[in-house]
Amino acid sequence: MYFVYRKGREMSSTAQPARISQDAAIVSKAAVRAAERLELPGRLFASIIGVSEATISRMKTGDFALDRDRNAFQLSLLFVRLYRSLDAIVGGNTASAASWFKSHNTALNARPVDAVQSISGLVHVIDYLDSRRAPL
């Protein structure tokens, strides 16, 4: 085994620099921003997308991007979709969006923040928001 020098650091020839796909970085950043705008604590956001709280911290600093082949990536896409639907309904008012997300909703029979803790609940809240955006 031989060593390659890269940016002042010695690396094994078998080690490759971490390459983050552009899609993964975009989805990770969008999901973090959506959680922040909904005033969602890292612990709850981690629970929703199925990662550790430490992973959320690394996502916030840009040191970690979700892997496209993992469930967390797909759940993050759904979470961003939820946020975008809610944002369209409240007209960009993040305070109203955060308030709605934390308040009891009679149609959902739960607080949305509690409902989205499961995959079926997350999909149900998205369906509800989509139906509110485009009533028949």
- Give domain status of residue 8, yes or no: no
Q: Is residue 91 part of a domain?
A: yes
Does residue 3 sit within a domain?
A: no
What is the per-residue pLDDT across 32-70, written as a single tens digit (0 to 9) for each?
999 999 999 999 999 999 999 999 999 999 889 898 888
Pairing of strands 9-12, 3-6: antiparallel
Q: Please indicate, yes or no, if residue 4 is contained in any of the structural domains.
A: no
Residue 99 confidence (pLDDT) above 60: yes
Range of the domain at 31: 17-133
Number of independent structural domains in the chain: 1
pLDDT tier for residue 136 given thresholds of 50, 70 and 90? low
Residue 1 lies in a domain: no
* pLDDT-wise least confident of 19-28, 99-108, 114-123: 19-28
